Amino acid sequence: MTAFTKEDFTWDGMYLMYRGRHTQSVNMEVARPTCHPSWHGLPKPEFIARFKYGYKPWKAWVNFLVKNTTVEQYLALQEAEHPVGAMKALGYKGKC
């Protein structure tokens, strides 16, 4: 199991992504063969959440994930549910 690393999260104003390596990660040239050469050798970013409207608690989400779960555990929960449901299943009590 791989712990989340705070420095590997990226936020673009709407999408929270994780760009760190983990046991299930694949390189970009495998996931997207036509990707730009600058992406070769880097892991494919994992979708964590989308904050489209209103309050965007992305920093609280990052802090919670880093302290309370692993990358693989969160991704497995997210496959079964939406990101808010996955966070609640992990015990997150903040605003979503």
Evaluate whether residue 67 is within a structural domain. Answer: yes
Of the chain, the end-to-end C-alpha distance in Å amounts to: 26
Evaluate whether residue 12 is within a structural domain. Answer: yes
Evaluate whether residue 54 is within a structural domain. Answer: yes
Joined tokens for residue 26 = 């694949």
Question: What total of structural domains would you count in the chain?
Answer: 1
From the list 51, 49, 93, 65, the residue with the least C-alpha distance to 6 is 65
pTM: 0.89
Q: Which amino acid is at 54?
A: G
Q: How many angstroms separate the CA atoms of 96 and 93, rounded? A: 9
Range of the domain at 18: 7-89
Dump pLDDT digits (tens) for 32-80: 999 999 999 999 999 999 988 878 899 999 999 999 999 999 999 999 8
Evaluate whether residue 50 is within a structural domain. Answer: yes
Q: How many angstroms separate the CA atoms of 49 and 94, rounded? A: 15
Evaluate whether residue 95 is within a structural domain. Answer: no
